[in-house]
Structure formats: structure tokens, C-alpha cells
Amino acid sequence: MKKFWTIFTLLLLLALVFFVYFRYFFVFGTGVKTGELNYVVHKGYIFKTYEGKLIQQGFRSGKVGELGSNEFEFSMSEKDVADRLMLAGGEIVELYYKEYKSALPWRGYSNFVVDSIVSIGTKSSQSPSFPLQ
């Protein structure tokens, strides 16, 4: 009976390790988001993290009958990335991010973690989406 409980405990511990890994540390997806940088802040009570928001072109509706902007809220893992973005408020930026299933307090409030900047441009460098006559 002692052997059964030992094996059961080891299997339960192994299942817990896999659950925690896939829930908090496994990179679910990666990608690049482009939009106008709205803000970057450094906040938190115990764990100070860098958080930001990107306003993307287009509209999406959070509720039926409402119209809102398409926003991308993210956390940052690197201080130098956050410092560069703090100087680029209002600019068009392309950010490379990793998506996790759940957030960790020391990693930030968002499931999306930006770890590098692809490019920083200006609003005036963007060409209009309609032809000028």
C-alpha cells in the first residue's frame, strides 16, 4: 500500500508541474502588433511592472450595439524596451510579443508580453489608406 501512495503522489506532483508550466510559462503564441502607442507606465504595489496600450486601426465592439477602438494592452519584460517606448508616445510602433495563457504578478498584468520593438515610425510617415485626388 505504501508503494501505491508513493507512485500516486509522484504522479500527482508531475501533473501539477505540467499544469503550472503550461498555464504560466509555455509560450502559447508569438506575433507582431502595429498601432499608435497610447501609453507606457511603471506600476504595481509589490511587483513593479511596465504596462502599455497600443491603439490599432479599425473598430471592434465589446458589447452589442457599441463601437470602440481596437486596443492591445501589454506588459513588458525588458526595462530598456520600456524606456524606448516611453519616449515614443503617440508614434506608430510595431511590437513583437509573446502570448501566455495566464499572467504572473512579476511578469505583468497582461497575458501579452512585449520583448522587443520591430520599428518606431511617425504618424506623418504613414500613407493614407485612400487615394488623394
Kindly write down the DSSP assignment for every residue of 57-108, as one continuous string.
EEEE-SSTT--EEEEEEEEES-HHHHHHHHTTTTSEEEEEEEEESS--TTT-
Q: What are phi and psi of 94, to 5 degrees?
A: -115, 125
Cα(65)–Cα(60) distance, rounded to whole angstroms? 11
Residue 11, in any domain of the structure: no
Residue 130, in any domain of the structure: no
User: What confidence category does residue 24 fall into, taking pLDDT thresholds of 50, 70 and 90?
Assistant: very high
CATH of residue 57:
2.40.50
Q: What is the pLDDT of residue 59?
A: 65
Residue 15, in any domain of the structure: no
Residue 128, in any domain of the structure: no
Residue 133, in any domain of the structure: no
Q: What is the pLDDT of residue 133?
A: 44
Mean per-residue pLDDT, 43-49: 91
- Min mean pLDDT across 22-36, 40-54, 67-81, 98-112 is at 67-81
* Domain count along the chain: 1
Residue 42's domain comprises 27-123
Q: What is the pLDDT of residue 131?
A: 45
Residue 20, in any domain of the structure: no
Residue 18, in any domain of the structure: no
Residue 9, in any domain of the structure: no
Q: What would the pLDDT profile of 54-101 be if each residue is shown by its tens digit?
A: 998 876 656 666 666 689 999 998 899 999 999 998 899 999 999 999
